[in-house]
Structure 1
Amino acid sequence: MDDIQHKQLSFSLDHVFFDGLLDKLGDHLQKALIAISSDNYKDRCAQSCQHQLVLIIYGGKVYSDFDEQAHYEDAMAVYNGKVLALGPLDEVRHCVYQMGFMATYYRLKSSEVVTPGFIEPHCHLVTSAVLQQLFHFGPFGFDGRTDKFMTDYNMSYVLRSVVYLDKALQDTQWLLGYGLFSSLLMSDDVLDTHDVHNSLQTLSISRPVVIFDAQQPLAFANRAALEQLYKYLVLNQVGLLKSKQDFFTTIAEQGGLKGEQLLWILEVLPVRQFQQLSTALIQNIDDVLTHAKNQGITHLGYVDSHPVALSLLSAYSQQQPKVNLINATTTWINASCKCGFELGLTDTSKSIIDNSIALNIGYLGFDWVQSYHGVQTLQLCQSLFNQGVNVCLQSGFPLLPLSPLKTAQQATSKEMEYAPLDKKRCLTRLQSLKSISSAAASHLKISPQAGHLFVGGQANYLVLSNDPLQCSDVEMRHIQVKHSSVS
């Protein structure tokens, strides 16, 4: 592992700016807590108490786990959130009736398979829920969930988007965005972040606009926003500014607001905007997890550590979350890392646990091509497997789409949206599927109850529209989660 020196570029969600943002939101936390729906909780409890028939799934492959080899059975019986039986259909049926249960059946279509639920090992859940209320200026749509990369992602798109969104907002609101991949905007007209900053100044918009970069602690602000910031700095005697022109010149030379300067933004945002962000937080956490469930995620490891975030998650957990929430920080605190910290990963202390590592391979492929080792990185992942290191993959949400299956597909085929890489440096199908199921469960120390299907275990399983081990690369890109069971 010492030969991996790749430094992933990103705006870490552990940055002091996000701590400051959560501090501010904490002042308005009460409204967010009130937003919890006790009726919804009661309804779910009532549903869970109802008598259920045993469900027998049959007619295709039921993968019980992806390990050194793929294990599968012909049928599975599920009752009250547990796997009641696995094996040939006749044996499963006999087992069910011998126990005195009645059963209902689901016959898999010819292409469908059952797999263990997917696991997202590393997510700043509350911070992500906050950012989901902003506009996503990356190449995946305004909500950052489109799994198709925009082929026309350029500076013109960003500017058109700002003008479009400006018309939809109230007069007093700031236009806030995040996830702008400035590196992907580079062209003959845009050579660096200074050009991105200058381009934003050409728009005749009176509303303050601030867009956070995806790859570094940098924010692009228009003149209206900078005017507000300058007033704050003058009133509070921050810095050694000689004049307004000096301030504007300094920001232009930097190519935007950088580092701890981002904290200034929190001092000038309207109070009403903080209130809106905090009031909608619980609902946005729920929306993120609903989306995660639809992507086949049954367990999500959150790495939130800020007191405000933990208070929200504690309150939200009373609702019976859409997916199983695992406090990943309890698995890495005081854990010794046999892998070393030479990887240069974002959030390294939380990405490496004992002899296990969670990697974000980068949905776009851009960072991998631009990095020092570039296309060799996943080839080096193979050496990690050979060394016995437990390797799992994370999605990179919220800057990149939350989709373990898509992440596994790209690690397998290397059909990156921005930069296709050498297929010789792929993970095998089995390795990639293991990395988002049993390996991720081991990483979070929740194995074998997650990432595997076995008699007596939790019935966290998926019905997929196609077999990810047997279909073509093209077909794998279009696999859908037909059903997700979370227990």
Structure 2
Amino acid sequence: MGSKGNDHNCTHCGCENPIWNALKHTLDLTAHTGLASSLAPEPDSESIVFTGGVIYPLKDGNMDDRVEALGIHGGDVVASGSLADVQARMKAKGIAYQTRLLEGKTLLPGLIEPHVHIVQTCAIQGWLDLGAIMELSPEDHAKNRLNPDALKQDQRLRPCYDWNWLKGEIRKNIPEDSSTWILGRMVDPALMPFKEVKGGLNQLTTFHCDLNETGDRVGNLDSIVTQNPLLMISASMHTIYLNTAACEAVYNSNNEYSKELRTKYSTCQEYIEDTHGNLQEKAGMMPAICSIPFKQGLDLLNIFRYINDYFEQASRRGVTLLYDAMMDTFSKTVLKAYDLKHHRNLRIGYVVPYDSKDSKKKADFPVTREAARSFYQAGLKLISDGSNQGLTGYQAQEYCCYTEPPLGNFNFCDPGDTTPTVIPDAYQTTINDAVATGWPLMIHANGDQAIEFTLQAYETALGGCSGLEKRHRIEHCSLLTDSHIQTMKRLGVSPSFLIGHVGYWGYSFEKAIFKDKATRMLDLCQSALDHKLRISLHSDCSVTPLGPLRSMEQAVTRKMEGMRDNQGLFIRDPRQQPILNEAECLSRKQALKAITYDAAWQCHAEDWMGSLQDGHFADLVILEQDPLDERVPATSIRDIKVCETWKGGRKVYANLDS
């Protein structure tokens, strides 16, 4: 775990996938020309008056307003209110419509994921899933659709996630051909058992390779497989782990990065002894990524299939807008190629990496209706530090567990200063230049020192002006102080919280990684609202699964799902799961607003999405239960069945059992 150096181009969280960056050249898109003018036409929408259930239009963010009916036509909302008023409005416009009885179900605006990574997630979807969080596939849903207990495993931690489980999963998938690599994704040492050390540094599970070790020592990848090369990438995308066979394959590969390795290490054994198969940051990871056999690289047909599954998963969970937090030019090309033969069941907004080709074009605001209808750019992305669970978020105090360097990583350091205590000139200059482009910024900052530097950089770059009109954001914004929140309010900067940090990693943070710092500072959602900030909740998929209702639940309950029982199994009974900083729990209305109305605002789409105001897109979701109803247990909000999802007045998903 941890990092041994600082690199502006290092990898962390879901915000940059090194596998995608290294292997995207293997895709052949030469057959797809004229993409922009060849996209599939929008299918016909329906004309319907919904009534007979609970309808929340969320007009102007009003979370208390319930209406009797909602009328849609031509892909847009026509009217909401009493049934008689909606019928009169539809009739006055000469609209012939059908009446749809909701039968007591709840209708809401379509849910929004304000920070995801679409193509980068799909790029390695075919790799072996070695993650701690269970995700049911479309086939799993079909197979278990009449089994509520099986469906309630979705988006929860596996009952058992430890070394023995990992070893078993890999051994079940060893190819017969010893030259074929075993490629694993989402492995997460921070969610494996850890050792608390009184008066010293706590110890997380670590992985290494050593053919000379006898017995089955925890963490030794060579005790799992010796013949086939094994490569696993962490859930934080920060670290790659290799067995000895993979180290040898990397060292002897013909790619340019491996050639550089051989100039640094005279023998493969020197390489292994220095790294132990634990590779960090871009410089360390690229030789391994580029050594993956070409036949196991990215494949266009598989990419399209995984993108299709990704979009279907989003619809199953009520999502109508995905906001991609790092859309590179090649990813855009892939998505446009996908659109040639598939009609997307949702809308996509995105930001591009700062200093990329797309960041040079003139900022175009506000977002137009035509752009918002399908695929629109609304900002630039910068990444200041790493991942807290990957032990690379940049901190003001050292981590409470062993990692190197002990403060984590900051990505914009001045020469000769890898652990800055004052804002680096390199960072301030970058933010000044980025703000000057006119684009809104999304800045990834996890650690409290990274957040401090980011707020200082914003303040100088804004020059006394407010950033509210641009809706500048801080992404993840994990470890906050009250002073940070006050500064954000003054600067007009808003936070988007990766709330899964609390639900999935909260226990590890509190007991092993940060101790009381996590209790006091992690994801201060309620404090942000108390200071009149507008917040959103996101998944950072693939770091945590797509699922706004799950995000809503974790923000409302703040249950630490990573606590284990005496047998080392994750505790499944929410009544036994402790709460992390109960004062920061959101109300149901606050959390729902953060995945609809305010999420749309942060994504520059509130004129068309996030509420069901007259003239807005008819993007909506129909739920079996009302998430605002206190009779629905707060710990079951993620289990509320999505009966239907609609985009632009067209049903794009229907649960077969609804």
Fold equivalence (TM over 0.5):
yes
How far did residue 106 of structure 1 move? 2.1
Indicate whether 1:468 and 2:491 are aligned: no
CA distance in 1, matches of 2:22, 2:233: 19
CA distance in 1, matches of 2:64, 2:32: 44
User: 2:28 aligns to what?
Assistant: 29
- CA RMSD in angstroms comes to 3.4
Residues 344-380 of structure 1: CA deviation (Å, up to 9, x unaligned): 47xx898539522211022403365343621334673
Match of 1:54 among 47, 70, 94: 47
**Residues 28 and 279, structure 1, Cα contact 8 Å, conserved in 2:** no
User: 2:334 aligns to what?
Assistant: 312
User: 1:6 aligns to what?
Assistant: none
**Residues 32 and 282, structure 1, Cα contact 8 Å, conserved in 2:** no
Indicate whether 1:290 and 2:312 are aligned: yes
**Residues 465 and 480, structure 1, Cα contact 8 Å, conserved in 2:** yes
CA distance in 1, matches of 2:312, 2:608: 21
**Residues 11 and 213, structure 1, Cα contact 8 Å, conserved in 2:** no
User: Secondary structure in 2 aligned to 1:272?
Assistant: helix
User: Secondary structure in 2 aligned to 1:390?
Assistant: coil
User: 1:478 aligns to what?
Assistant: 639
User: 1:326 aligns to what?
Assistant: 349
With over 3 angstroms needed to count, the CA separation of the structure-2 counterparts of 1:33 and 1:172, relative to structure 1, is farther
Indicate whether 1:457 and 2:616 are aligned: yes
User: 2:504 aligns to what?
Assistant: 364
**Residues 63 and 593, structure 2, Cα contact 8 Å, conserved in 1:** no
Residues 367-406 of structure 1: CA deviation (Å, up to 9, x unaligned): 6534362133467322221222221011121021110110
Letter matched to residue 313 of structure 1? L
With over 3 angstroms needed to count, the CA separation of the structure-2 counterparts of 1:323 and 1:340, relative to structure 1, is closer
Residues 186-225 of structure 1: CA deviation (Å, up to 9, x unaligned): 3569954545654311024422111111246211112221
User: 1:414 aligns to what?
Assistant: 558
**Residues 559 and 579, structure 2, Cα contact 8 Å, conserved in 1:** yes
Match of 1:186 among 160, 184, 193: 193
Letter matched to residue 115 of structure 2? H
CA distance in 1, matches of 2:444, 2:279: 33
Indicate whether 1:376 and 2:514 are aligned: no
Match of 1:156 among 160, 164, 167: 164
User: 2:57 aligns to what?
Assistant: 64
CA distance in 2, matches of 1:283, 1:94: 45
User: 1:17 aligns to what?
Assistant: 18
Name the one with the larger helix percent. Answer: 1
How far did residue 237 of structure 1 move? 5.6
CA distance in 2, matches of 1:337, 1:156: 43
User: Secondary structure in 2 aligned to 1:83?
Assistant: strand
With over 3 angstroms needed to count, the CA separation of the structure-2 counterparts of 1:359 and 1:160, relative to structure 1, is same
**Residues 337 and 355, structure 1, Cα contact 8 Å, conserved in 2:** no
With over 3 angstroms needed to count, the CA separation of the structure-2 counterparts of 1:257 and 1:406, relative to structure 1, is same
CA distance in 1, matches of 2:46, 2:590: 35
How far did residue 141 of structure 1 move? 4.0
How far did residue 236 of structure 1 move? 5.3
CA distance in 1, matches of 2:309, 2:442: 37
CA distance in 2, matches of 1:135, 1:143: 14
Identity %: 20
Residues 98-117 of structure 1 aligned to structure 2 (within 5 Å): 98-110=92-104, 112-117=105-110
How far did residue 228 of structure 1 move? 0.3
**Residues 124 and 302, structure 1, Cα contact 8 Å, conserved in 2:** yes
- Return 5+ residue gaps in structure 1 as ranges: 1-9
Match of 1:267 among 285, 290, 303: 290
CA distance in 2, matches of 1:138, 1:311: 29
CA distance in 2, matches of 1:386, 1:16: 35
With over 3 angstroms needed to count, the CA separation of the structure-2 counterparts of 1:170 and 1:84, relative to structure 1, is farther
How far did residue 32 of structure 1 move? 8.4
- Return 5+ residue gaps in structure 2 as ranges: 1-10, 139-153, 197-201, 210-218, 353-376, 381-434, 459-471, 476-491, 564-577, 649-658
User: Secondary structure in 2 aligned to 1:70?
Assistant: coil
Letter matched to residue 245 of structure 1? Q
Alignment size in residue pairs: 462
Letter matched to residue 359 of structure 1? F
CA distance in 1, matches of 2:311, 2:267: 47
How far did residue 439 of structure 1 move? 0.8
